[in-house]
Structure 1
């Protein structure tokens, strides 16, 4: 079982509204439970799958201005309250924007998960508006031809946008993050 605790670290004047809207939007993702508001800047939810944790984390990293803590409680006996506490412990008091921290009940080293999200954060932060549009369509299930038609550009231009946006690195990083999270959720006892 997973939980994700996110803290808004931006400078938005109406931060409470932004945090509330973000919680509502993230709660609509597949496999994501309802995000609870924890004060003005913090939200937390229990999440069912490694894929949903990765998608949610990447959405927050793409949005910027969020620090993220992921809690992992392997096993069928995991308690939602326990996994929420792990996520809150992971985020800590001195969290920084764009940083993902992970805490597991098994006390395994979560450094590989943290590292893959650091790499994904770097790829996402370097993306232009055009790159975000192109990758969003691809993530939504379109192929390059369909996405190019949607944007009104040639297939070659679409290919160039995806290359410049680091689409292949994002795809590889997403798969790696999902695999590492699944392994951690199994409670294998092996250091990651």
Structure 2
């Protein structure tokens, strides 16, 4: 057995919208995983991770898209690992399956379930962090995302303003309204809590 975080993700409103899974899998593909993200069945996909930063990055991508039920299960997965995420077994998978079902009635459509050991608070803390992060991203406008994406590429506010044809002051105002600093802190905290769960579960 090895400890991992399983993400089971179900597309919302799939009967009335295009299949968004292939494009999302493409965006998630560069992230380090134990077992890569792949479609499991129908409108679901799944991945297995043991890198806390990758967990935070994956969830951030899903929160940005705002079109998913996200179930996060933390616990043991059986070894040897299979070739595909959909073939895995273990408590983390069971937790993720329950979590994605409960995400349909959870705030921001995200649920975290963990096999608690010496850090029983960490799963709830991670879930709370993700809800607050989702609330920040949920109010971000297209203009806010423009600034956030440029800053994420390493640009200064001055450089971003030059690219967008607006003043540095205007960039700063957009950044504040977009909650760029708050979202960055949320992602950092999500990674810390994911690391705690992986180490303590």
Q: TM-score range by the shorter chain?
A: 0.7 to 0.9
1:140 aligns with 2:153: yes
2:12 is matched with 9
1:25 is matched with 27
Distance in 1, matches of 2:44 and 2:59, equals: 14
Distance in 2, matches of 1:153 and 1:47, equals: 40
**Equivalent of 2:192 in 179, 187, 190:** 179
The alpha carbon displacement at 1:34 in A equals 2.3
Question: Structure 2 vs 1, CA of residues 73 and 11 (structure 1 numbering), >3 Å: closer, same or farther?
Answer: closer
Distance in 2, matches of 1:106 and 1:24, equals: 32
Stretch of structure 1 that moved more, 50-59 or 138-147: 138-147
C-alpha contact 1:8 1:66 (8 A) present in aligned 2: yes
2:85 is matched with none
Distance in 1, matches of 2:148 and 2:103, equals: 32
1:48 aligns with 2:56: no
Higher strand share: 2
C-alpha contact 1:4 1:70 (8 A) present in aligned 2: yes
Aligned with 1:106: secondary structure? coil
Render the CA deviation track for 1:15-64: whole Å, top value 9, x for unaligned: 3x322222222223x32452111222111011231111111111111111
The alpha carbon displacement at 1:111 in A equals 1.3
C-alpha contact 2:71 2:100 (8 A) present in aligned 1: yes
**Equivalent of 1:167 in 157, 161, 180:** 180
The alpha carbon displacement at 1:132 in A equals 0.9
1:84 is matched with 93
Aligned with 1:68: secondary structure? strand
The alpha carbon displacement at 1:88 in A equals 2.0
Question: Structure 2 vs 1, CA of residues 5 and 168 (structure 1 numbering), >3 Å: closer, same or farther?
Answer: same
Render the CA deviation track for 1:104-129: whole Å, top value 9, x for unaligned: 23363421111111101111110110
Correspondence 1:87-106 to 2 at 5 A: 87-92=96-101, 95-96=104-105, 98-106=108-116
Give TM-score scaled by structure 1 length: 0.83
**Equivalent of 1:119 in 132, 152, 162:** 132
Distance in 1, matches of 2:146 and 2:99, equals: 32
Distance in 2, matches of 1:11 and 1:41, equals: 7
Q: In angstroms, what is the RMSD of aligned CA positions?
A: 2.6
